Structure 1
Amino acid sequence: MAENGEVQLAKKLKLDELEETLVYFATSIISKNTEEEVLWDLAKNCISRLGFLDCVIYKVDYDRKVLVQKAAYGPKNPRSYEVLKPIEIPVGKGITGTVAATGKPELIRDTSKDARYVVDDEVRLSEIAVPITQDDKVWGVIDCEHPDKNFFTHQHLKTLHAIASICAVKLARVNAEHELKLKQKALMDTERELVNLRVNSLRRQMNPHFLFNALNAIQYFITTDKKKMALRYHSLFSKLIRKYMLHLDEEKIQLEEEIRMINWYLKLQQLRYEDRFQFAINVPESLYNLPIPTLIIQLIVEELIERMVMSNSGEGCLTLDFTRNADKLLFKASLEVDMLLGFTRNDPNDYRANLFTWQEHIDLLNKLKDLKIIRQIDELRNDKGEITGRTIALTIPVPE
């Protein structure tokens, strides 16, 4: 009877140790913030408390269909957070690979009698492998070995299974928090890029070159006693600048507002360049309330006017057409001149050198906001094959 009592006491003490290990691990991992910290705490601290001599924790790489060693305790871990000569095991191969494939734990009392046994650094005669499972999918495997036969017990199996469950919950939370941080960072990066985009757009419209020329034009009209022209220019210039500032923080603008600003801009440029070009804007009133990304049309118009003035000695004509096809706004800008010469911006001192082009503006909007704006550029040619103009077409998704 006394002997049976000692056996019962020994078993109770053993169970108390296992229970303490579970409590330790559940408490310890609360402070862990990364996947690496959780796994190494499990391997180096939790497993050592169970009296095991060797343990490796694997993570399943489903893309390559292999298990990758991520943490270890024993000979495979000579220094800090390091796995010595890490190996990879194909899913389904060996005892560990079988557990990864089936999601069922394995307790092998004598590995010499199991043909599946895979030798890592040395032969060991006992092995126990337990899956770490998340949402009915094996995330990884806790694999422990011992040089003696029959070392691991069913109680060990239950304990490792409980540890694996705690680990799975913590890993899920850690990964969820990591994903949330990545999404928050991506959102902040997107917002930052959008702000830079809007600021850059404003810089294009209010660049020193345009502002100084506008002020010089007003001064010229005043000094040449063309007061009506000066007042008209000043009025258009003031309204345009005010609208630019008003819409700086807006991602979208009604088409009517965009057309109004384009109209003022073109009239200013007509006055500045002494009617070297004519323009026409064709848009049905039924499209006025459509929301479109702010300033993208404006940037295209600026590009075409500069191209015409800098690359053509004669007069030109700019036509802007707006139509709708189901859930898409179709915009087409056509510039026609006598002959359009080469037009480049290779001068590093050009104020536009560090500013987005309209193409880059649209590409960035598509990337950040998934707007799916389609753009197309075509050259116009005469019978001699000479370039006499350019068309720029946009297809902009709009609400039905």
Structure 2
Amino acid sequence: MAKNSEVQLAKKLKLDDLEETLVYFATSIISKSTEEEVLWDLAKNCISRLGFLDCVIYKVDYERDVLIQKAAHGPKNPRSYEVLQPIEIPLGAGITGAVAATGKPELIHDTSKDERYVVDDEMRLSEIAVPITQDGKVWGVIDCEHPEKHFFTDRHLKTLNAIASICAVKLARVNAEQELKLKQKALMDAERELMNLRINSLRRQMNPHFLFNALNAIQYFITADKKRLALRYHSLFSKLIRKYMLHLDEAKIQLEEEIRMINWYLKLQQLRYEDRFNYTINVPEKLYSLHIPTLIIQLVIEELIERMVMSNTGEGDLILDFTYQVGCLQFKASLEVDMLLGFTRNDPNDYRANLFTWQEHIDLLNKIKHLKILRQVDELKNDKGEVTGRTIELIIPVQE
């Protein structure tokens, strides 16, 4: 009777040890906020409480089909948060690799009789390996070894299985929180880039040359007593600047509104450059209700006009065509001049030197807003093969 009591007491003590270890680990990892902290707490604190001399925790890299040592307790861990001479094990190789491949734990009483055993830093005769599983997929493996044969027991296996389950839940939560933080940071970065994009777009449209020359032209009409023209262009100028400011914080604009602003802008540019170019806008009224990214069209037009004026001595014709096909607005801007001197300009003092180009503007919109805007630039040539102009085409996905 006394002997049976001793056996029951021993079992109760073992159960208490198991529960105490699990409670300790579950409590300890609550404050951990990174994958690294969870794994090192498991290796250095929880495993040591079980009296194990050696333990390595692996993570599966499915892109390379290998297991990577991430944390350790024992000879592989002479310094804090560092694995000494970490190795990689191919998925399926060795006892650890087999557990990762099958998702089933293994208890090896004598590794000298198991041909799968892989020696790391030194030979050990007992090994126990338990998978850490998330959503039916092996995330990693807890692998413990001991120099004595038959050291690990079924109780150890039960304990490690329970610890692996707790670890898997915590890792899933930590990774989800980390992913959320990364998404929030990416969103904030994207919004910051988008605001910079809008500001740079506005700066391009309100560049000093355009503003000052337009104002000087209006001033000339006033001094020449051409009040009607002065009032007309002053009204255009005021409305355009007001619209720029109004749409600064808007990601999209109705095409009808954009066409209206383009008209004002082109009339002022004609005034600025003394009618050195003519323009035609071809757009069906049924497209007016479409919404497109703010200022994107105007940046393309500004690029063509500025290059034309700087690169020719005659007059030019600007043609803007808007068409619709299969969920996309197709925009084509063509500018052809009498005598082209070259489309390049390398003036370091150019006000546009530090501003986004229209190409960069589109690239950032595609990156931040995932718009998938397509662009194409072609040169126009005469019968002699001489470049006389440029065509820019955009394909902009839209919602009706």
Report the 3-state secondary structure (helix = DSSP H, G, I; strand = E; otherwise coil) of the residue aligned with 1:343.
coil
Q: Percent identity, aligned pairs only?
A: 86
The separation in 1 between residues aligned to 2:124 and 2:105, in whole angstroms, is 18
Structure 2 counterparts to residues 18-33 of structure 1, below 5 A: 18-33=18-33
- Say if 2:124 and 2:148, in contact at 8 Å, map to a contact too: yes
Offset from partner CA, 1:146-180 (integer Å, 9 cap, x none): 11111111111101000000000000000111111
The separation in 1 between residues aligned to 2:327 and 2:4, in whole angstroms, is 84
Provide structure 2 residue ranges, at least 5 long, that are not aligned to the other structure: none
Of stretches 97-106 and 381-390 in structure 1, the one that deviates more from structure 2 is: 381-390
* TM-score of the aligned structures, taking structure 1 as reference length: 0.97
User: What is the CA distance between 1:386 and its match in structure 2?
Assistant: 1.6
Report the 3-state secondary structure (helix = DSSP H, G, I; strand = E; otherwise coil) of the residue aligned with 1:220.
helix
> What's the counterpart of residue 253 of structure 1?
253
User: What is the CA distance between 1:8 and its match in structure 2?
Assistant: 3.0
The separation in 2 between residues aligned to 1:255 and 1:353, in whole angstroms, is 29
One-letter amino acid matched to 1:305:
I
User: What is the CA distance between 1:110 and its match in structure 2?
Assistant: 1.2
- Say if 1:339 and 1:389, in contact at 8 Å, map to a contact too: no
User: What is the CA distance between 1:303 and its match in structure 2?
Assistant: 1.2
> What's the counterpart of residue 17 of structure 2?
17
Q: Indicate yes or no: 2:60 matched with 1:37.
A: no
Of stretches 64-73 and 221-230 in structure 1, the one that deviates more from structure 2 is: 221-230
Report the 3-state secondary structure (helix = DSSP H, G, I; strand = E; otherwise coil) of the residue aligned with 2:237.
helix
> What's the counterpart of residue 157 of structure 1?
157
User: What is the CA distance between 1:120 and its match in structure 2?
Assistant: 1.1
User: What is the CA distance between 1:117 and its match in structure 2?
Assistant: 1.2
The separation in 2 between residues aligned to 1:162 and 1:284, in whole angstroms, is 69
Structure 2 counterparts to residues 129-144 of structure 1, below 5 A: 129-144=129-144
Report the 3-state secondary structure (helix = DSSP H, G, I; strand = E; otherwise coil) of the residue aligned with 1:375.
strand
> What's the counterpart of residue 55 of structure 1?
55
Structure 2 counterparts to residues 217-228 of structure 1, below 5 A: 217-228=217-228
> What's the counterpart of residue 385 of structure 1?
385
Offset from partner CA, 1:85-139 (integer Å, 9 cap, x none): 1111111111111111110110111111111111111111111111000000000
Report the 3-state secondary structure (helix = DSSP H, G, I; strand = E; otherwise coil) of the residue aligned with 1:388.
strand
Offset from partner CA, 1:45-99 (integer Å, 9 cap, x none): 0001011111111111111111111111111111101111111111111111111
Report the 3-state secondary structure (helix = DSSP H, G, I; strand = E; otherwise coil) of the residue aligned with 2:229.
helix
The separation in 2 between residues aligned to 1:82 and 1:13, in whole angstroms, is 34
User: What is the CA distance between 1:331 and its match in structure 2?
Assistant: 1.0
One-letter amino acid matched to 1:115:
E
> What's the counterpart of residue 119 of structure 1?
119
- Say if 1:109 and 1:125, in contact at 8 Å, map to a contact too: yes
The separation in 2 between residues aligned to 1:307 and 1:94, in whole angstroms, is 67
One-letter amino acid matched to 2:301:
V
Structure 2 counterparts to residues 304-343 of structure 1, below 5 A: 304-343=304-343
> What's the counterpart of residue 76 of structure 1?
76
Structure 2 counterparts to residues 189-208 of structure 1, below 5 A: 189-208=189-208
Report the 3-state secondary structure (helix = DSSP H, G, I; strand = E; otherwise coil) of the residue aligned with 2:289.
coil
The separation in 1 between residues aligned to 2:32 and 2:266, in whole angstroms, is 62
The separation in 1 between residues aligned to 2:334 and 2:317, in whole angstroms, is 8
- Say if 1:35 and 1:171, in contact at 8 Å, map to a contact too: yes
Report the 3-state secondary structure (helix = DSSP H, G, I; strand = E; otherwise coil) of the residue aligned with 2:323.
strand
One-letter amino acid matched to 1:338:
D
The separation in 2 between residues aligned to 1:111 and 1:387, in whole angstroms, is 79
> What's the counterpart of residue 181 of structure 2?
181
The separation in 1 between residues aligned to 2:83 and 2:273, in whole angstroms, is 73
One-letter amino acid matched to 2:35:
E
Report the 3-state secondary structure (helix = DSSP H, G, I; strand = E; otherwise coil) of the residue aligned with 1:261.
helix
Structure 2 counterparts to residues 92-107 of structure 1, below 5 A: 92-107=92-107
Report the 3-state secondary structure (helix = DSSP H, G, I; strand = E; otherwise coil) of the residue aligned with 1:321.
strand
The separation in 1 between residues aligned to 2:305 and 2:123, in whole angstroms, is 79
User: What is the CA distance between 1:319 and its match in structure 2?
Assistant: 0.9
> What's the counterpart of residue 353 of structure 1?
353
The separation in 1 between residues aligned to 2:25 and 2:15, in whole angstroms, is 15
- Say if 1:345 and 1:353, in contact at 8 Å, map to a contact too: no
The separation in 1 between residues aligned to 2:38 and 2:399, in whole angstroms, is 48
One-letter amino acid matched to 1:274:
E
User: What is the CA distance between 1:224 and its match in structure 2?
Assistant: 2.1
- Say if 1:311 and 1:341, in contact at 8 Å, map to a contact too: yes
Offset from partner CA, 1:13-60 (integer Å, 9 cap, x none): 222112100000000000000000000000100001011111111111
Work out the number of aligned pairs and report it: 400
- Say if 2:312 and 2:340, in contact at 8 Å, map to a contact too: yes
Report the 3-state secondary structure (helix = DSSP H, G, I; strand = E; otherwise coil) of the residue aligned with 2:388.
strand
- Say if 2:210 and 2:272, in contact at 8 Å, map to a contact too: no
The separation in 2 between residues aligned to 1:44 and 1:366, in whole angstroms, is 47
> What's the counterpart of residue 236 of structure 2?
236
The separation in 2 between residues aligned to 1:119 and 1:272, in whole angstroms, is 81
Offset from partner CA, 1:260-303 (integer Å, 9 cap, x none): 00101111111222222111111111111111111111111111
> What's the counterpart of residue 294 of structure 1?
294
User: What is the CA distance between 1:216 and its match in structure 2?
Assistant: 1.4
One-letter amino acid matched to 2:311:
S
Report the 3-state secondary structure (helix = DSSP H, G, I; strand = E; otherwise coil) of the residue aligned with 2:47.
helix
The separation in 1 between residues aligned to 2:242 and 2:355, in whole angstroms, is 21
The separation in 1 between residues aligned to 2:91 and 2:387, in whole angstroms, is 63
One-letter amino acid matched to 1:114:
D
Report the 3-state secondary structure (helix = DSSP H, G, I; strand = E; otherwise coil) of the residue aligned with 1:371.
coil
One-letter amino acid matched to 1:95:
I
